Amino acid sequence: MKKFFFDLFIVFTISLLPICCRTPEINENIKINSDSTLFLIKQIGKFTNRFCGTENRDSAMNFIFLNMKKYSDTVYIQTFDCDSLKIHNIIGKINPQKQERILLYTNYDQNPEKKDSIDYNSAIALLITLSKTIKENPIDKGFDIIFFDGRYLLNTQSDINHYLAYCQGSQLWTKNYLTNKNINYEYGMCLVNPTSKGTTFITDGNSNHFASKHLKFLKIVAQKNGLENLFSDIISRPYYGDNTIISSIAGIRSVNLVGTKIINEKPEYIEYENINDINNQEITNILKIILETLYTNH
């Protein structure tokens, strides 16, 4: 009888363990296909100069939509008017019936000041791969995977130096979400140029303020897999973008995984991705950390 109560006490105690004491878990049968992700990065790279309102943006939108149609339970395009242009957010859902959800997102338009940039190609490819992997390895959680448009579209009615002057797609999505709020997001994760060789994820100011618990868990997962060098304890200035809108206005605690390199002991955000700096190992590492985090309750 004493042993029964002791075992019961142990089980109860474990259930109360804080996040930092829990062991990340992932189904060992889940296969990470970095080759297909790298192929997707190169495919998306064909749609260069995909500025808001251009044919290349529309072509990229169709490419992403068709892939998400294969790898999610439902996908649709959310369209808004912004000045004289149309904003098209692409939204894929896995287990749409679930009220408790996790939000994964990036943007797919590009900065018109960066001609022939490949920025965000790897983030787009990673989200498609994550959706495919989750779809093929069912989990009792709901996911929304969003590709925001209008990240670099200036709202002419806003102060050009204010972060709300940009990120039109995430702002319009947030306004709609707050108006028709009928689901609950456990947390969110934003990807920005995350797979370049030598990338280190610093503690972004927004992530540290809004989602420190989930950021800490990502670091635990990385350490468990011998990838602790992927994360730095350096706390940086906030990286203003879609993550700022989702965390501060939508109220969804969101981690910002922004590709960064440490130069002279100072973090520098990777503003320009280079396809030659992206390889299978970098892709595998980040996919493994994200998937293990998503598949573990924390």
CATH code, domain with 130: 3.40.630.10
183 contacts 103 by C-beta, under 8 angstroms: no
Token pair, residue 166, equals 């940009």
> Is 60 part of a structural domain of the chain?
yes
Please list, in sequence order, all residues whose beta carbon lies within 8 angstroms of the beta carbon of residue 13, skipping any fewer than 6 positions away: none
Give the pLDDT band of residue 18 (cuts 50, 70, 90): very low
261 contacts 186 by C-beta, under 8 angstroms: no
Neighbours of 71 (CB within 10 A): 20
pLDDT at 160: 56
**Overall pTM surpassing 0.85 (yes/no):** yes
> Is 43 part of a structural domain of the chain?
yes
Token pair, residue 225, equals 């897999």
User: Considering its fold, how many domains does the chain have in total?
Assistant: 1
Phi, psi of 86 (to 5 degrees): -100, 135
**Closest C-alpha to 283, from 181, 191, 153, 218:** 191
Token pair, residue 44, equals 């998306």
> Is 20 part of a structural domain of the chain?
no
> Is 160 part of a structural domain of the chain?
yes
Report the C-alpha gap between 200 and 259 in whole angstroms.
Answer: 6
pLDDT at 295 over 80: yes
Give the pLDDT band of residue 12 (cuts 50, 70, 90): very low
Q: Region 23-49: what's the mean pLDDT?
A: 81
Per-residue DSSP letter, 190 = E
Helices and strands in the chain: count of H runs, count of E runs: 9, 10
> Is 3 part of a structural domain of the chain?
no
pLDDT at 191: 92
Kindly report each contact of residues 219-225 with a partner whose C-beta sits within 8 Å and lies 24 or more positions away, as own/partner.
220/19, 220/20, 220/24, 221/24, 221/289, 221/292, 221/293, 221/296, 222/289, 224/23, 224/24, 224/292, 225/285, 225/288, 225/289, 225/292
> Is 15 part of a structural domain of the chain?
no
> Is 68 part of a structural domain of the chain?
yes
> Is 17 part of a structural domain of the chain?
no
Q: What is the per-residue pLDDT across 116-157, written as a single tens digit (0 to 9) for each?
A: 666 788 899 999 999 999 999 999 999 999 999 988 887 766
Handedness of CA 249, 220, 31, 197 (dihedral sign): positive
- Lowest mean per-residue pLDDT among 66-80, 124-138, 162-176: 162-176
pLDDT at 266 over 80: no
Q: Domain containing 152: what range?
A: 25-294
